[in-house]
Amino acid sequence: MSVLPPVRRDRIIPDLPSCFTKEAALHTKATFNPRVRRACQDDRTGTVGLKISKIIVVGDLSVGKTCLINRFCKDTFDKNYKATIGVDFEMERFEVLGVPFSLQLWDTAGQERFKCIASTYYRGAQAIIIVFDVNDIASLDHVKQWLRDALKENDPTSVLLFLVGTKKDLSSAAQYNLIEKDAIKIAKEIKAEYWAVSSLTGENVNEFFFRVASLTFEANVLAELEKTGPRKIGDVVRINNNDTNLFKNPKKSKPNCCQ
């Protein structure tokens, strides 16, 4: 018997959503991998529907990490800045190709004094979302450092990377185009998929998280098929095995390493 309510209708993903730009995408295929589609049709997705995929969101202070998550999960926007202390998380349940799929979105602190608390929660991520503010070039310059820190706790060969520019509403088209060039260059260097969003207007926020859910789901199913059958040429498996069981409550307790 299921202990969970049905997935919200606006969290159902029947097709692979498009990338933001083909210039910096994890892949540019129009549909889900055929093996994944077949596995979903034939009910051969194993434990994928029972697990939670951990997604961590990192980046400089005040770039808009919390607002991004709140826009997607609660459809709210707060114009007042309240620093995240350590970490927080939200759960989002989807249905992808008819299979239930859950993401745990970990919102981490960008402020230096809370970073050591936050970094203890980096481990076991299936995707890392690195956030910068499109109006603040310094926050883009710090992206690689955030990635280095997050990868200390994760397997670089299996984790999916996303680079997200926020506060697009505050930028003129000319300013935005300028920083986009640099951002796409960095996204390509670090092999991340690039997105630009506004949590104030909601522009691209749902599209972005649907893409994160879809690509993480696809990687999970491919990893599951890898366990149960022979690999076929052309399949890309990028996932680790640190997912959490859906029926266990993640601990929110905070370590006391920071003063």
Ligand X SMILES: Nc1nc2c(ncn2[C@@H]2O[C@H](COP(=O)(O)OP(=O)(O)OP(=O)(O)O)[C@@H](O)[C@H]2O)c(=O)[nH]1
**For Mg ion, which stretch binds (CB under 5 A), given 82-90, 196-204, 219-227, 249-257?**
82-90
Contact 159, 54 (CB under 8 A): no
**Residue 63: CB minimum distance to Mg ion, A:** 9
Q: Which does 64 bind (CB under 5 to 8 A by kind): ligand X, Mg ion, none?
A: ligand X
Shortest reach from residue 133's CB to ligand X, in Å: 8
Nearer to ligand X, 84 or 220 (CB): 84
**Which residue has 């993903």 as its token pair?**
13
Q: Which does 53 bind (CB under 5 to 8 A by kind): Mg ion, ligand X, none?
A: none
* Residue type present at position 174: A
> Closer to ligand X at the Cβ: 83 or 236?
83
Surface-to-core class of residue 176, CB atoms within 10 Å of its CB (0-12 exposed, 13-18 middle, 19+ buried): middle
What is the smallest separation between the CB atom of 81 and ligand X, expressed in angstroms? 4
State phi, psi for 173 to the nearest 5 degrees. -60, -40
Six-digit token pair at 143? 């992206």
Q: Between 51 and 65, name the residue whose CB sits nearer to Mg ion.
A: 65
Provide the 3-class DSSP secondary structure of residue 105: strand
| Cβ contacts of 165 within 8 Å, gap of 6 or more | 131, 132, 133, 134, 140, 179, 180, 183, 194, 195, 196, 197
Structure tokens at 94: 């989807």
Which residue, 199 or 214, has its beta carbon nearer to Mg ion? 199
Binding of Mg ion by 33 (CB under 5 A): no
CB 91 within 8 A of CB 52: yes
39 binds, among Mg ion, ligand X, none (CB under 5 to 8 A by kind): none
Helix axes 205-228, 65-74, angle to 10 degrees: 80
CB of 76 to ligand X, least distance (A): 11
Per the CB < 8 A criterion, the answer to whether 49 and 100 are in contact is yes
Q: Does 108 bind Mg ion (CB under 5 A)?
A: no
> Could you give the dihedral angle defined by the CA atoms of residues 7, 9, 10 and 12, in that order, rounded to the nearest 10 degrees?
70
Interface size with Mg ion, residues (CB under 5 A): 3
Q: Look at residue 4 and give the partner it binds from ligand X, Mg ion, none, a contact being a CB closer than 5 to 8 Å depending on partner kind.
A: none
**201 to 240, contacts with Mg ion by CB under 5 A?**
none
Return the residue of 33, 45, 84, 204 that touches Mg ion, per CB under 5 A: 84
Query: What are the residues binding ligand X (CB under 6 A)?
Result: 61-67, 78-81, 83-84, 109-111, 166-167, 169-170, 198-200
33, 53, 66, 154: which one contacts Mg ion (CB under 5 A)?
A: 66
Name the residue with the smallest CB distance to ligand X: 110
Positions touching Mg ion (CB under 5 A) are 65-66, 84
